[in-house]
Amino acid sequence: MAQQTAPKESPPAIVPFEKAESHRIRISNSVDGPVEVSRDKGVTWQTVGHVTKPATASVMGYLASGYAQPSCISATSVHGIRVRVGDTSTAYPKLINLVPSEFLQTPRGFGGHVAGTSGIYMDIPSGKAIFRELAPLAGNPVYLQQSSGELTPLPENYAPAKNDDLVILVERPVNGLREIDFENRNHGSVTIEYEDGTRKEIAEVLKPVYGIGRFDGTSYTGVGAINTDHCGVITVSSAPISTSPLLEGTGEERRGGFQIEPIYHNTQSEEAFADMILVIGHRDKQHQPDLEGTPPLFDGYIDLAWSSSDPEHSWRAEIKRGGSSWLPMPQIVGAKLSSLRGVTAIRLIRKKPLDDGWTTQQIAQAVQGYRNREMALARAGKMPVKRGTVVMAASVSDSRTKYVAFYVNGRLRAMTNNAPYSFTWNTGEDPDGECIVEARAEDVNTDPISSTKTRIWVDNANKL
């Protein structure tokens, strides 16, 4: 298999390009730990989801993760975000993974990277919030937030521990891409256009794409939308977004898409020169990494933004057949390996760049989506609902405990050394909605021993 024979690859040297911070993502690696975003460089945070199952290890990655820089995003997709933590001693460095709710279980026939114990599993659906409009880009840096608030790169071969806070700096290029054109024929050109109008030919087509295959996560992506960008692959969906409650690979087929790969990485894979893959690169460099892990296609430029209600800010694929004008990507589901024969050109296009106002709007939508999910849990009786004044008690068994501190949404509300440990909480002091109440056991020096967090829905106005 390719995984056993592939040579070791070191991350490529990347020519710097100007970037600007869009927002930050912070994930607390604990059960019910918040998933938060910040637009002001970490001064304030807004919750968009929670961790349902924390990671306990890092695991061996896949070949293309070897092209990523350590402590950086190696892949961004609607169905998972991969973070390289391994050193450069192997072609398959260790990874940790951020995983949306549908992939808590591995679907039947799943062909991608299985997160296992390296997964930080979340209640955020595939194709939403940090797995879509707020997603990081390949190459974005990932940090460990210390108790002091300092951000430090992830240690080599880092293994996540309980309550670790990971912070992703989502950085976008100042002069981003507006269009990527592929002449779908042998020796066809690959041309990019930047937002400032500059056009540049960057590679050639070494094998055209002929059809559509079944690729993981495409049932959550949208026709013509970008499903994945990592250091060796761009995956474009041809399938509509499904509302089926079944896992992918179960029931009626709902996946469909094609991939764009650089030549060296393609020849190392088990699907080398397959019909559903568009292979690009330079013929004189096909025996060594070239485009792999480098901007603009496989690092730093391509995000996942797509919305059927906002096509101007969305990446979307279009095609030409013969001498036709540009046509929308056809909706094709399942393995249809000849369905793109006759397509003479493909382009990925976004007419309007993502600006600060757009990002702020997407954060607001993600926060509202999170609140809607939490309210549904409260209404279904799956989350405690509290009103008025209530007594919150801590269950503490460690004999070293001398104090218990109580926090509501990260703010200290009470501290006691009197067992049984409890505090009286006036829920009216907090806005209606989901609150995190933390009981933190501390020793004689007020150093933390353990912590228990409880999600509670405060409802003093609406009366669910």
Closest CA to 413 of 397, 389, 433: 389
> How many of the other CB atoms lie within 10 Å of CB of 126?
22
Indicate the fold that domain 384-458 takes in CATH: Immunoglobulin-like (2.60.40)
CA dist., res. 142 & res. 451, Å (int) = 25
Provide the pLDDT for residue 307.
93
Average pLDDT estimate for 195-211 = 97
414-436: pLDDT as tens digits:
999 988 899 999 999 998 888 98
Would you say 60 and 84 are in contact if contact means Cβ atoms under 8 Å apart? no
- Under 8 Å between Cβ of 37 and 48: yes
The per-type count for the chain, helices as H runs and strands as E runs, is 3, 28
DSSP designation for 428: G
The 3-class secondary structure across 356-384, one letter per residue, is HHHHHHHHHHHHHHHHHHHHHHHHCCCCC
Confidence tier at 9 by pLDDT (50, 70, 90): low
> What φ, ψ does residue 149 adopt, rounded to 5°?
95, -10
DSSP-assigned letter for residue 46:
E
Q: How far, CA to CA in Å, does 141 sit from each of 110, 128, 172, 330?
A: 28, 21, 12, 35
- E runs forming strands in 91-225: 94-99, 119-122, 142-145, 151-153, 165-173, 177-183, 189-194, 199-207
447 CB contacts (<8 Å, ≥6 apart)?
none
Return d(Cα 216, Cα 126) in angstroms, integer.
11
Distance CA 48, CA 257 (A): 29
Query: Is residue 285's pLDDT more than 60?
Result: yes
Contact 96, 85 (CB under 8 A): yes
Tell me what the pLDDT averaged over the chain comes to: 93
Average pLDDT over residues 341-364: 96
10 has a pLDDT exceeding 70: no
% residues pLDDT > 90 (the chain): 80
Q: What is the pLDDT of residues 365-375, one digit of tens each?
A: 999 999 999 99
Contact 3, 64 (CB under 8 A): no
In the chain, where the domains are located: 2-173+357-371, 177-356, 384-458
Residue of 89, 96, 74, 113 lying closest to 10 (CA atoms): 89
User: pLDDT at residue 29 above 60?
Assistant: yes
Q: What is the mean pLDDT of residues 274-298?
A: 93
* Residue 323 Cα distances to 74, 182, 319, 332, angstroms: 38, 15, 11, 22
Question: Mean pLDDT over residues 251-260, rounded?
Answer: 97
Least confident of 6-10, 240-244, 389-393: 6-10
Neighbouring C-beta atoms of residue 263, cutoff 10 Å: 26
Buried b (16+ CB within 10 A) or exposed e, 49-62: bbbbebbeebbbbb
What is the rounded CA–CA span in Å between residue 166 and residue 142? 7
Q: Average pLDDT of 392-397?
A: 89
Q: Please report the pLDDT score of residue 91 as a whole number.
A: 75
